[in-house]
Each structure stands twice: as structure tokens, then as C-alpha cells.
Amino acid sequence: MAQVAPAPALDFNINAEQVADIVKRVIAEELAVNNDIAALKQEDQTYENIVAPLARIENTLSGAIQLASSLSQISPDEAVREASVAAEKEYEEFSIEQSMRHDLYLVIQNFIAKADLNSLPAEDARMLRKMEQTFRRNGLHLPEDKRNEFKELRKRLSEVCIEYMKNWSRENSTIKFTKEELEGLDDDFLGGLTTVEEDGVKKYVLTMKYPDVRPVLKLCKNENTRKAHMTAFESRNRENIALLEEALKLRRQCAKILGYKSHADYVLEVKMAKTVQAVREFLDDLATKLHDAGLKEIEELKKIKKEEKAARNEEYDDKLNSWDTSYYQRILLENRYSVDQEEIKKYFSLEKTIQKMLDIYEKVLGLKFVKVPADKAVVWHPDVQLFECWDNVEDKSFSGYMYLDLFPRDSKYPHAACFPLQPSYIAENGERVAPIAAMVANFTKPTTDKPSLLKHDEVVTLFHELGHVMHHLCSRTKYARFHGTSVEGDFVEAPSQMLENWCYDPKSLKYLTSHFETGEPISDDIIDRIVKAKNVDAAMMNLRQLFFGIYDMTIHTSEDENLDTTKLYNDLRKKISLVEAPEGSCGQAAFGHLMGGYDAGYYGYMWSKVFSSDMFFSKFEKDTLSSETGYSYRKCILEKGSSKDGMDLLKDFLGREPSSDAFMREDIGVH
């Protein structure tokens, strides 16, 4: 008899009132448990009536909270989005209150002090150690006046971050251009834009969303148009500058109260890197190694610009501006490698690419995906698809649900990300509660005569975000708090970054492609050019990432009470990335990572990239579709979540200490 998947644990048809009710219910249940534990007399304190109920409540309620807070980014209903923002705020305030309860702290701390943690199962002991660390990081060891001060600062910080992110995700400014000003953009692109009449002239309305900005910066031959769009894009959300600067002050105050030198020191304590010095050395070392290569790449692009300006009879300013980079990189790729993204995307229709990507994940990780028919799937928007995931190696059990929400719409999350909606854990009856994760992106919508077609970098994004989804679906932990991507912040990207390598593997690329009209796979010649082009301008691209990481680390270690975040952003951008920001712009106002959980953590993208390269090139390179290696990876890395330290997981999988050799050789081309 075939197994049947359990019904998804979350209902996406809920209205605004129900969102508010969910949070009220969660708060009531959590409060009751906390009150019971706080009231325990010393002689009555046991593992069963302290740790077990805390773990149970965290396990069973975390899905409801994830749902209530995620709807602000994905729901098409404005009332639901507003209710979700309010719910997230309400729960965040409640959590801060509870995490600062001294009575609860005393009971748990007392139990931990007398418990023999070594005699407990590993995950239970880890849970207790993490609780103890969290209490200390929440300042519960401090005297009452300091605790209260800290609590108020954290509440305000939470409000400021939510406000910043709300502004960022709802940003809706536009810019208008005539058809002539959009020279170089095809009718397909123009046909998808809104138009208006101004003084008898037809103008196209463009937003600051990636599907509008990227094509203009890559393809538009009119430099003034690129400059205007880039300047508007880099100047959006100006109202967020004050919020960011307030957050920096609040974070600095919180760190000092707890006894940390800076906010970055506080954040890094629970990361893989551990110290500010380790991160600084890592970032500075890479920036130094890449500096000369970056200058060389810029000179090469300037040469192309000079030739193009001469051919167009236009003045050449002997500069590579920020609005020039994507444009001349595209010309370089087309000229030297004949990599024409417009041609390549004909081989990557979204639906087929997803199907084949899932086939690769099935083969490598030992999974099986089954699409749920649209009329049976409860989703939050008609564009959303639902898949069941099953284990295909061990016990053929149900692994979890995956939602795909891939097209732009008003007030939806503007980027690409994986939203964990329900963590997995082992319920009291011994059964695993299956996880639910959603991949949210903003790819071009299909038209009546053409499917959604993906450029190669969008294929990489798709593989990357699906990699996060796989981390959730493969996770097998006892507790929700250790589930999936709950690993250290500077390790969280490594599994997904490793999976991006499949997009440059000739065998996998051939398999992924199919021309949307003829069904033909992409030619070996084009594949060869895509692979060779992978590291074109790698120094510039990595210097840009290093700039973001260095900026983030600088603002979060700064002692300057009156820090001008705009000046610092633009100065560092020129110094590190070697390309100036558009005049008058304020890129930090729309740098969502700074306020969305990556504060003092952006370096993690590069840090984890080093480990992802090590994993791929030492284990998968010989046979990228090896089920045996893939299964080892699933068992050693994905299944464990954060039930062990990231460094230990890496060593288990690699069989040795990790190294940066593969990254410098394969990703940067420095031997």
C-alpha cells in the first residue's frame, strides 16, 4: 500500500483576524509553561518538568510563529500582511519579555548547575548548554536595573529593524523612460512594462525591483538611462538611514551592558569565526589578494568602454562608473566568450529547469519529489506550487513539503530566499514532524506565447535557494531549535553555495537544458563558454562582496556615536570595490541584511564560500552526480542541522581540517 503524505500542518487561507489569533494562542501557551516552570520549588526541579516542557513548546509552536511572521512578505492580501507585521512585533516583544525573566532563569540555571550534562543524550545536553548561553547573552546574570535597561533597548531595536524591513520590502518608487532612452532592451521586456502618456509622449514605467533594474543596467545602450536608474535604485529608502543609525547606537549600548567590546564581538561569539580579529584578518587578506586583479579587470572594462564610446560617437570619461559595470561585463562576456545571456535563457525555461533540478537533487541526495495538483494544494497565491518530498534511500518515509513562489507581485518579498515555515522535530509519540519550507523568488513571468526563461545567473540563484530548502527537508533533529538552517550564521550559506557548483558542471548543465521551442539541449560549445566565463571579473565581484562584509563589520565595531553611515558606505565602496557609488546615493538604506538578521554577519557569505568550495572540489568534482557522495553529504551535513558545531560537521564530511586552497584556485583563479 502506497504511503500517503500527511496534510500540511499550516493553513495559508487564514485571514488577518486568524493571524492575530495564532499569536495570541502561542503567547498564552508559552506563558503558561514558563509560569509553571518558574513556580517550581528547588526540590521539585527535574529534567521532565523543566527541559521537556520547554522543548515541547518550542517544537510545537515554532511553525505557527514562522507562518504568522512570513505572511508579511508573501501574502497577496494587504490586511493579512499588516496583521503579520503586527503579529511579528507582538511575538517579538513577548519573546524579549520572556527571555528576560529572572525567575525562569534562576530555576533553569539552578537545574543546569546540578545536572550532569555528560550523562545526557548529546542533543539534550547541547540544548541545555545553548539555553545557558542564551541566558547570559540576554543579560540575566546582570543586576535588575541593568536588565531592565537592556530589555527596553532590545524592544526598541526590534521595532526599528521591523520598520526598516517593512520600508525596504514595500519600496515602490518608479522611474520613467521613453523607448529611445531604453535603447537595447527588447520588445519582450518593454511589453511587460506599464506605460503612461506624458505631454503626448509614451513613457515606460520601471520599478526598483531586480527584474526591471538588472536588464536596464546590463542591456541599455543609453548611459544616461543606466545612470538615472542606478542612482534612483541606490538612493531608495532614504528614510531608512535614520533607522539604521539608531539601530547601530542601540546595538552598541546592548553590547556594552553585556560586557562585550562591540556588537560584532557579541554576534561572533556564537558563529563559526568566533572573533572580530579572525573575521578582519579573513576579509583584509582576501581584499589585499584581490586588489591588483580587480584593478586589472577594471582597466579591461574601461578599454571596452572606450571602444564602444568611439563607435557610438560619444564622449569617453576615462572612468568605470557603477552603472557601467554590468553593461561592459556583458559586452566582455559576449565578445570574448560569446556568452549571450539572451540566447542562453532560451534553454532554461523555468518549469523544465525546476523539474530537472529536482531530478538532480533526487539522484544526489536520495530523495523523491511529487508535485501536488493545483486543485489539491492549499497555497497563498495561484502562482504558488506545492511539492511533496519523500526519502528514496532508507525507509521511503515522508520528508516534508516544499512550496515554490517564483514570480513578482505587488508588496511581495523583493529578493530570492528560502522561508522555513515549519521546522521538523521528534514529537512525544516518537514520530518525526515533517518540515515545510518555501522558496520565494522574482523571476520573469511567463507570457501567452513564452514560458518564463532564466538567465544563467538566475539558474544559479534557483539552485542556491533550493539548496536551503533541501537543508530543511533532509534535517533529522530531535529539537526544532536545531533544525535545518539553524546552523551558525557563517556556515548557513555553505551547503547552498556548494550546490551552485552544479550550474558550472558540464554534465549537469547539459542535463538541465532544453530549448523552449525545439527541446534541444544546449551545445557543448556554449557550455564550455559558460564554464570558462565563470571567473570573468571574479576579483571585482568578490571585492564587492568584501566591501559589504567590511562595511558591516566596520559599523558594528565603530565607537563613533555620530557615525555618518552614508559617507562611510561611499568611501569604503570606492576603496574596497574600486568602483564609486552614484553621487548622492545611500546604498546602506536598502541593505536589508544589516537589519534582517545578518548584522555583523555579512562576511559569512565569503567565509562559507571558502568551505563550500572545499566540500565540492574535494568530494564531488570527480563525479558530481555521485549518489554515494551525495548520501554522505546528506547524512554528515544536512541531516544534522545545528545539533553539532558547523566545524565538526565539516570535518566529519571532509575527513580532515577544512582549507581555503580550492576557493583561491577555483573561484578566484589565484594559484
- How many Å apart are CA 627 and CA 622, to the nearest integer? 12
Chain CA centroid to CA 657, Å: 26
Q: Which of 30, 465, 500, 666 is catalytic?
A: 465
Answer yes or no: are the C-beta atoms of 528 and 506 closer than 8 Å: yes
- Count CB neighbours of 635 within 10 A: 17
- How many Å apart are CA 204 and CA 439, to the nearest integer? 30
Answer yes or no: are the C-beta atoms of 648 and 382 closer than 8 Å: no
- How many Å apart are CA 204 and CA 226, to the nearest integer? 14
- How many Å apart are CA 590 and CA 235, to the nearest integer? 8
Grid coordinates standing for 190? 518593454
Q: Nearest Cα to 160, choosing from 596, 665, 525, 452?
A: 596
- How many Å apart are CA 223 and CA 227, to the nearest integer? 6
In the chain, DSSP finds a helix count (H) and a strand count (E) of: 25, 10
Burial readout 273-288 (b: 16 or more C-beta within 10 A, e: otherwise): beebeebbebbeebbe
Grid coordinates standing for 601? 554577519
| 3-class SS string, 461-523 | HHHHHHHHHHHHHHCCCCCHHHCCCCCCCCCCCHHHHHHHHHHHCHHHHHHHCECCCCCCCCC
Grid coordinates standing for 208? 526598483
CA 13-413-233 angle, 5° bins = 155
Where do we find the cell 550559506? Answer: 493
**If DSSP codes are grouped into helix, strand and coil, which group holds residue 612?**
helix
Burial readout 200-219 (b: 16 or more C-beta within 10 A, e: otherwise): eeebbebbbbbbbbebbbbb
Distances (CA, A) of 386 to 102, 366, 377: 44, 20, 6
**If DSSP codes are grouped into helix, strand and coil, which group holds residue 378?**
coil
Grid coordinates standing for 230? 542606478
Answer yes or no: are the C-beta atoms of 220 and 185 closer than 8 Å: yes
Question: Residue 160: how many CA atoms within 13 Å on its side-chain side?
Answer: 21
Eight-state DSSP code of residue 438 = E
Grid coordinates standing for 456? 544563467
Grid coordinates standing for 571? 568611501
- How many Å apart are CA 518 and CA 103, to the nearest integer? 69
| 3-class SS string, 405-419 | ECCCCCCCCCCCEEE
Q: Is 465 a catalytic residue?
A: yes
- How many Å apart are CA 408 and CA 375, to the nearest integer? 22
Just list the catalytic residues. 465
